[in-house]
Structure 1
Amino acid sequence: MKMLVFLALLGLHSAAAVIHSLKYFYTGSSQVPNFPEYMDVGMVDEVQISYCDSNTKRNEPKADWMNKVTADDPQYWEDMTQTCLDSQLTFKNNIETAKQRFNQTGDVHIYQQMYGCEWDDETGVVNGFNQYGYDGEDFIVLDLKTETWIAPKQQAVITKHKWDHKKAFKSQTKNYLTQECPDWLKKYVNYGKSSLMRTERPTLSLLQKTPSSPVSCHATGFYPHRATMFWRKDGEELHEDVEHREILPNHDGSFQMSVDLKLSSVKPEDWRKYECVFQLSGVKDDIITKLDKAVIRTNEGKTGIRSDGGSSEFPVGVVIGVVVVLLLLVAAIIGYVLWKKNKDKDGFKPANTSDTFSSSSSSSSSSSSS
């Protein structure tokens, strides 16, 4: 599955044009205890802007600046709510269809859709995407360049043939992803520019669970998410014995990330040659912290005092914060998390055969969700 990739994961260490994104995550579920049968989440530049589920039956703004949309479109939230209700029925039917095709009965099942667009505010280039998943794996994905659908699973081939031959549906989908979606994205960015275009530098810490564990360079409180962080030795970026972790959201709308360095490859006399470098889009100066035992915060409790005079104990609050953020993220977009977790397992595998999935959720969302 071709997911959008943060600039940070591309390893771009210099300031670049801002690529804005608008994404919608739709999730239908079956027999998941204490969880809505349907939910949808809207996000602009990885910031949540809307939420609706089968319990609330209302689509509501999740960013204050999204209330400005009604000045241009008084019926906006009513239309969004109707899309949510319509998609709920479609996703429920599609789960039942999928269960039949996979010869399944009860148990927990999840059907997902992620669609939207990205826009380069410097070049004006836009890109759209629309993809579906079932039970944590790719099901069917749109190739916008060829205007055809890719079916990684044999059970989706019928859907592929059906949608490939729906000329009106393809035309509508392409128009939404390449025209309407970018237009709405530009409006949203304008509404929230004071928040979305702000710059906040992070706090950097060196963390270590035990003396034999990797040292984690942890940055938190930065914005935007277009950032990268890496370890280097003698001015050269390291690629071996280094593990980059995902950028995660904080509860206040800022972000956090970590990059680990295995100490087994570091000679004691070479510690002073290593440093962690954080780079934020739009900020010229790098934020650098040297590999220094005196400033490493651990959970051993007796590993010395940081150079700033603070305790060197591992910040439990950071760990709890990460866990809480992850739980909230999973609660909001559980389908996306499962999909992403499994996306590298199978990849795309051409298949052959057929089916009758409804595309109404895609077409309705593409024409009225935004």
Structure 2
Amino acid sequence: MKTLLLLLLFCRVSSTVKHSLRYFVTGFSGVSNLPELVAVASINGVQAGYCDGTNKKLEQKLDWEKKVFENDPDQLKMYTHHCFMDYPHRFKTTMFSLKQVFNQSEGVHILQLMQGCEWDEETGEVTSFMQYGYDGEDFIVFDLKTSTWITPKPQVVSIKLKWDSEIGRIKYNEQFFTQTCPKWLKMYLHHGNSSLLRIDVPSVSLLQKTPSSPVSCHSTGFYPDRAMMFWRKDGEEIHEGVERGEILPNHDGSFQMNVDLDISSVSPEDWRRYDCVFHLSGVEDDIITELDETQIRTNWEKPMTTITIIISAVVVVVVVFAAAAGFMVHKNKQDQRRPPDSEVSSELSERLDPET
């Protein structure tokens, strides 16, 4: 039994391959320099579309999307309807209701919606979600199992009851999340498989701001975003003194992440016991980077020591004195070549005398 537990602890289990289609909609109130509503669609964490509901602007960010909408014009029509009509109206009325129940007459307020679905390619399982947030806090969630809205806020129970009574909208949500969203996700993966199903391994570097700062193991350029990175000591993963960063998108559609190690209590002779491990789903071999001082990249410049400053000052003084001495020698030579003042005056008088 003990051997089995050890095998479960140290053997890596391959993570399931999940794909996602997510929509993020944000409405603003009290902000003059931003559109009242913007929406973003993402596939596997990559931005696929952008919508500006205020200025009636809809963009496809991926080249293959144009072919999809050419083959399925009804889909583009649906996106246009939601972006320019449905979402702006729904967000405006919801924002008005929330201001009333929370007794808010002015100020900046933000209403957010996140909805979409995930598909497990190995098991075929589909998970859907639809939830709202208001001013940075959870507002209301749609429960697909019961087809009802759930809210943690007692103040908005009236809104929940109103939304529960909208049978047509609930039926639409059921169909979209159980049928339409998974269908679209699989279709997008089919048309964009060359980019969405690719695997790119990253470049990994060790970074440090100053000698007293943590050493950051930074990876960038990997795809997909199903990755993890951690520090090890003597081959075992450690958590103390380690700070993990989030997976962030790059401008080219790839991702980056970092994990920091506090080395303030690590003696120089123990550095060789540490390494950074990057694991990307779908790739068998991990990228292992040893903690090596010679491999750390930094912009920090070593300050001059006291001896260095003294030597530099002495050199400056010597140079100044040498320059002064050279100037004096040069001046003396010039003075020796110059005729006496009496001779210069006599010659000048002779030239000015008209009878000469």
TM-score (norm 1): 0.75
Unaligned runs of 5+ in 2: 1-10, 304-356
Residue 59 of structure 1, CA deviation = 2.0
AA aligned to 1:68 is K
Instruction: Output the amino acid matched with 2:50.
Output: Y
| Correspondences of 1:192-211 after superposition (within 5 Å) | 192-211=192-211
Partner SS for 1:263: coil
| One-letter code aligned to 2:145 | K
Counterpart-to-counterpart distance in 2, 1:229 and 1:69: 36
Q: Match for residue 56 of structure 1?
A: 55
| Bigger RCO (CA 8 Å, 6+ sep) | 1
Query: Which structure would you say has the larger Rg?
Result: 2
In structure 1, distance between residues paired with 2:140 and 2:212? 44
Give the C-alpha shift of residue 77 in structure 1: 2.4
Secondary structure at 1:29's aligned position in 2? strand
Q: Is the 8 A contact 1:19 1:121 kept in 2?
A: yes
Query: In structure 1, what is the Cα distance between the partners aligned to 2:259 and 2:217?
Result: 5
RMSD: 1.8
Structure-to-structure mapping, 1:84-99, within 5 angstroms: 84-86=83-85, 87-99=87-99
1:209-228 aligned within 5 A: 209-228=209-228
Relative distance call for 1:265 and 1:162 in structure 2 (3 A) is farther
Counterparts of 1:174-189 in structure 2, within 5 Å, are: 174-189=174-189
Q: What 5-or-longer segments of structure 1 have no aligned partner?
A: 1-11, 304-370
Q: Give the 3-state SS of the residue equivalent to 2:218 in structure 1.
A: strand
Q: Matched residues in 1 for 2:55 and 2:223: separation?
A: 31
Total equivalences in the alignment:
292
Give the secondary structure class of the aligned counterpart of 1:204: strand
Q: Return the alpha-carbon distance in structure 2 between the equivalents of residues 253 and 172 of structure 1.
A: 32
1:292 aligns with 2:292: yes
1:284-363 to 2 correspondence within 5 Å? 284-302=284-302
Contact preservation (8 Å) 2:207, 2:215: yes
Q: Is the 8 A contact 1:141 1:151 kept in 2?
A: yes
Paired AA for residue 218 in structure 1: H
Is 1:15–1:283's contact at 8 Å kept on the other side of the alignment? no
> In structure 2, how many angstroms separate the alpha carbons of the residues matched to 1:95 and 1:133?
11
**In structure 2, what is the equivalent of residue 258 of structure 1?**
258
Partner AA of 2:45 in structure 1:
E
The reply on whether 1:15 has 2:14 as its aligned counterpart is: yes
Separation of aligned partners in 2, 1:222 and 1:207? 18
Partner of 1:161: 161
Moved more, 281-290 or 81-90: 81-90
Q: Match for residue 32 of structure 1?
A: 31
Report the equivalent of 1:345.
Answer: none
Q: State the AA in 1 paired with 2:40.
A: V
Distance in 2, Cα, partners of 1:56 & 1:108: 20
- CA distance in structure 2 between the aligned counterparts of 1:119 and 1:207, rounded to whole angstroms: 36
Cα distance, 1:168 vs structure 2: 4.1
SS at match of 1:264: coil
Residue aligning to 1:45: 44
Change (3 A) 1:78 1:179: closer
Q: Quick one: structure 1 residues 76 and 58, their matched pair in 2 at CA, closer, same or farther if it must change by over 3 Å? A: farther
Kept in 2: contact 1:58–1:81 (CA 8 A)? no
Most deviating of 281-290 and 166-175: 166-175
Moved more, 56-65 or 191-200: 56-65
Percent identity for Structure 1 against Structure 2:
58
**Kept after mapping to 2: 8 A contact 1:14/1:281:** no
C-alpha contact 1:52 1:58 (8 A) present in aligned 2: yes
CA distances 1:218-237 after superposition (whole Å, capped 9, x unpaired): 00011111111000111111
- Displacement of 1:72: 2.8
